[in-house]
């Protein structure tokens, strides 16, 4: 049976998409040599409002996978084949588009005879030109391993249902598991940020390379996927809990927002170093969790209200995957015109304007491609058919059937 649609998941995906587009626009302008300090500080402040974006996509991937397969184990071959078409094929196509887009405008590409196909192959494993597509590679690892995660989730759930402890309820045990997992994950983030960079010099290949590119691995994001499983199995409980926790999540967010801003200002010199707030850092993990739970709680509180803002977020969320794939190309095009300009004192407004243009253009392209044949392989959406035409055809068919029935009667 088809599962009921959970509106806030699509809306949260829309918010995450907006956050990621803003991050990448900030990264385009904050490192320019002519940026004034007030603009750099303001862009850093905005940047720390967007840290929840990518981990929220991981959380939502877990939510949707576990939600739709809670009661039945999927056929693995069919499952992977579908995800390969919906996710990995768009990755390959857009990797090729970015690879060509950067090279066709250089004379060396045309004078070299044969293009360097080796660099394209490398892009399929370590995206550089399409820098944002690392996320597709990383999240696809969760899809490959999902049957194992689902088996583990069913085992834990079965154990909870059979638990007859007088001391702890299944809900309390679940919270204890989440809290324990969070502690383990914070330790992993501590090792990643403070220790692992030194380990690469002590290890041989391929282990040193695996550590160097650890941000491409699902291991660094598993906690968000775990939370997705918890949310998928207890949607109403999750809504209630995030709404009740709003005073705490808002407080934690404000405290960590101030701390992360101070941390970057303290660690930067002439240029703001946004890498100080990397995803793989304990303090960043805390603000991400506070933001994600805060936004979920706010959406849960307003879910019975028909708000234009929520409808807009739902529309953005629907086309967000295609918009994510194309948005960096839009930023490249805008940067082609802005990089030669002297923008001292204007980096903040130009970044905001670039963000708005990127969002509108990327979503417009995503929606346009969704109407074309093969849209599944370009934006991960099945082709949107003309509803009025389908309705007219159905009406005509029904009229024809009625006429045949009256004649036969």
In the structure, what pLDDT confidence band is assigned to residue 104 with cuts at 50, 70 and 90? confident
Which tops the pLDDT comparison, 340 or 382? 340
In the structure, what pLDDT confidence band is assigned to residue 108 with cuts at 50, 70 and 90? low
Tokens of 17: 């998409």
Give pLDDT, residue 197.
Answer: 77
Give pLDDT, residue 109.
Answer: 64
Give pLDDT, residue 205.
Answer: 78
In the structure, what pLDDT confidence band is assigned to residue 164 with cuts at 50, 70 and 90? low
Q: Kindly list the distances between the CA atom of residue 394 and the CA atoms of 41, 160, 397, in Å, as whole numbers in the listed order.
A: 58, 49, 5
**C-alpha 241: how far from chain center:** 23
Contacts 24+ apart (CB under 8 A), 243-250: 243/297, 243/300, 243/301, 244/297, 245/293, 245/297, 246/294, 246/297, 246/298, 246/301, 249/290, 249/291, 249/293, 249/294, 249/297, 250/290, 250/294
Give pLDDT, residue 119.
Answer: 85
Q: Rank 17-21, 67-71, 102-106 by mean pLDDT and report only the highest.
A: 17-21
For 170, phi then psi, to 5°, come to -55, -35
Of all residues in the chain, the percent with pLDDT exceeding 90 is 65
The pLDDT of residue 264 is above 90: yes
Report H helices in 194-281.
196-199, 207-212, 222-233, 235-244, 246-267
Q: Give the least confident one: 194-198, 299-303, 378-382.
A: 194-198
CA nearest to 217, candidates 294, 105, 140, 331: 140
CA nearest to 146, candidates 234, 215, 55, 82: 82
In the structure, what pLDDT confidence band is assigned to residue 13 with cuts at 50, 70 and 90? very high
Mean pLDDT of the chain: 87
pLDDT tens digits for 14-34? 999 999 999 999 999 999 999
Give pLDDT, residue 200.
Answer: 75
Mean pLDDT of 55-77: 91
In whole angstroms, what is the distance from residue 71 CA to residue 154 CA?
Answer: 9
Give pLDDT, residue 383.
Answer: 65
Question: 12 near 299, Cβ under 8 Å?
Answer: yes
Give pLDDT, residue 399.
Answer: 42
CA nearest to 174, candidates 121, 114, 233, 216: 233
pTM over 0.85? The answer is: yes
* Cis-peptide, bond into residue 116, ω within 30° of zero: no
Give pLDDT, residue 111.
Answer: 62
In whole angstroms, what is the distance from residue 65 CA to residue 84 CA?
Answer: 14
Give pLDDT, residue 262.
Answer: 95
The pLDDT of residue 391 is above 60: no
| 3-class state of residue 34 by DSSP | coil
CA nearest to 51, candidates 247, 283, 243, 249: 283
Give pLDDT, residue 171.
Answer: 81
In the structure, what pLDDT confidence band is assigned to residue 142 with cuts at 50, 70 and 90? very high
């Amino acid at each position: 049976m088809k599962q009921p649609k959970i509106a806030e998941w699509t809306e949260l995906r829309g918010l995450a998409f907006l956050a990621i587009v803003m991050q990448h626009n900030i990264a385009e302008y904050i490192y320019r040599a002519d940026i004034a300090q007030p603009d750099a500080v303001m862009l850093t402040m905005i940047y720390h409002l967007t840290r929840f974006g990518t981990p929220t996509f991981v959380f939502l991937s877990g939510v949707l996978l576990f939600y739709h397969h809670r009661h039945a184990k999927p056929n693995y071959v069919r499952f992977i084949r579908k995800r390969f078409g919906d996710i990995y094929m768009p990755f390959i196509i857009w990797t090729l588009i970015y690879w060509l887009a950067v090279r066709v405008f250089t004379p060396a590409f045309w004078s070299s005879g044969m293009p360097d196909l080796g660099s394209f192959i490398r892009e399929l494993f370590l995206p550089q030109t399409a820098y944002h597509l690392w996320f597709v590679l990383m999240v696809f690892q969760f899809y490959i391993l999902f049957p194992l995660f689902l088996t583990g989730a069913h085992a834990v759930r079965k154990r909870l249902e059979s638990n007859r402890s007088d001391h702890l309820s299944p809900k309390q045990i679940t919270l204890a598991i989440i809290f324990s997992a969070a502690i383990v994950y914070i330790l992993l983030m501590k090792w990643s940020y403070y220790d692992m960079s030194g380990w690469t010099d002590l290890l041989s290949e391929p282990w040193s390379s695996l550590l160097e590119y650890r941000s491409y691995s699902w291991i660094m994001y598993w906690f968000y996927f775990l939370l997705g499983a918890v949310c998928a199995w207890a949607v109403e409980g999750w809504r209630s809990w995030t709404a009740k926790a709003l005073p705490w999540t808002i407080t934690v967010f404000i405290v960590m927002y101030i701390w992360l801003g101070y941390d970057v200002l303290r660690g930067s010199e002439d240029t703001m170093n946004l890498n100080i707030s990397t995803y793989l850092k304990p303090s960043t993990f805390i603000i991400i969790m506070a933001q994600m739970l805060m936004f979920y709680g706010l959406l849960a509180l307003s879910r019975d209200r028909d708000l234009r803002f929520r409808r807009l977020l739902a529309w953005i969320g629907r086309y967000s995957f295609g918009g994510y794939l194309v948005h960096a190309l839009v930023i490249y095009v805008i940067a082609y015109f802005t990089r030669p300009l002297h923008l001292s004192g204007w980096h903040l407004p130009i970044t905001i304007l670039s963000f708005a243009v990127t969002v509108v253009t990327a979503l417009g392209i995503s929606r346009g491609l969704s109407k074309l044949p093969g849209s599944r392989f370009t934006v991960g959406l099945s082709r949107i058919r003309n509803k009025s035409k389908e309705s007219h055809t159905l009406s005509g068919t029904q009229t024809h059937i009625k006429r045949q029935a009256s004649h036969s009667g």
